[in-house]
Amino acid sequence: MESELERLEKQAVLEIETAESLDELKAARAKYVGRKGSITAILRQVGSLPDQDRKEMGRLGNRVKATVEREVKSRESYLARHEEEVDAEPALDVTLPGYPVPLGRMHPLTRIINEIVEIFTGMGFEVGTGPEVETDHYNFVSLNTPKDHPARDMQATFFVSEELVLRTQTSPVQVRTMERRKPPVRIIAPGKVYRPDLDASHSPMFFQAEGFMVDEGVSFADLKGTIDTFARAFFGEEADTRFRPSFFPFTEPSAEVDVRCVICKGSGCRTCSQKGWLEIAGCGMIHPAVFDAVGYDYEQYTGFAFGVGLDRLTMLRYRVDDIRLLYENDLRFLEQF
């Protein structure tokens, strides 16, 4: 009887430890220490033993039963926790394919900015930056813009305070750079600018690229050569440009730059308003008053400057007819690029 109890103890402990569910554990307990269990059956026979054996076998039987009950309780606690975790988290099927991760797209404006920076850095220009909230001095005064100029009107400028504005152009980068550095200087400065305008061709926030070069002997021919080189690099080798006289307070002489329409090749279409030409930039030779503002000797140095509307170039490149599409963040539009 003693050896049988010890054998049943080992067998019961093994089955309990390997039970994979509460149901299996319940069945193992009933098999050994239940009302009809094998260990229970042996314990019922203890009473028929002689007095000298009954006490010893009773002690052994109670120890075996207690061991089995303890193992059952321990395994029950473990299986209960495990089943709760399984219920809380759905089973992972490692054979299922992974979830598709959509790839991002570079914004068309970012593409154009990167391309233009690459073109001008290839011509020896450096990239310049400046604050978007500018002082009246840098946005107007230092650029030879008088107090009564229409650009200072509330209809044309976002005023933060009497002395602070959201910059209306990237030209203040020109002044800030020239204050810090002596010629020769060649800078391309792309960035956001702000004007109170909103329709299919205007946005209250848009992008410009200011470019300028200052050195001894810089002429209008250098300006024209730079613009022509840019136009051929951006629009293609067949690109044709023309310069029309214009006026800007910070350049003299000043000009508007047109490129032959890339859609109709000059024959006239809706994009170019039947003119055959598209305006892409304003430019000119830097005004002596601007050199005075930064401490340059205009008798020794000359320079040119130009401003390119990056939104307009983006619309031309990708045939976009409404500038608002560039800023609405509509994925149906952006995923096309």
Strand locations in 95-228, DSSP E?
A: 126-127, 133-135, 164-166, 185-194, 205-215
pLDDT at 271 over 80: no
How confident is the model at residue 84, as a pLDDT? 67
Task: Read off the pLDDT of residues 141-191 as tens digits, 9 standing for 90 and up.
Answer: 999 987 877 777 766 889 999 899 999 999 999 999 999 999 999 999 999
DSSP 95: T
Residue 305: burial class (beta carbons within 10 Å; 0-12, 13-18, 19+): buried
Of 41-55, 169-183, 195-209, the range with the highest mean pLDDT is 169-183
pLDDT at 194 over 60: yes
- Answer whether the bond into residue 249 is a cis peptide, omega within 30°: no
The domain 108-334 having CATH identifier 3.40.50.1370: the answer here is no
* More confident site: 260 or 81: 260
* More confident site: 270 or 69: 69
Answer yes or no: pTM beyond 0.85.
no
Structure tokens at 244: 């029309």
Q: Where are the domains of the chain?
A: 2-88, 108-334
Task: Read off the pLDDT of residues 80-123 as tens digits, 9 standing for 90 and up.
Answer: 887 766 555 566 778 888 888 877 888 999 999 999 999 999 99
Contacts from 50-58 at CB under 8 Å and sequence distance 24+? 57/1, 57/2, 57/5
Structure tokens at 316: 């031309």
Residue 147: burial class (beta carbons within 10 Å; 0-12, 13-18, 19+): exposed
pLDDT at 322 over 60: yes
pLDDT (average), residues 268-278: 82
pLDDT at 306 over 90: yes
Provide, rounded to the nearest whole percent, the portion of the chain with pLDDT above 70: 95
Q: What is the overall mean pLDDT for the chain?
A: 87
How confident is the model at residue 294, as a pLDDT? 93
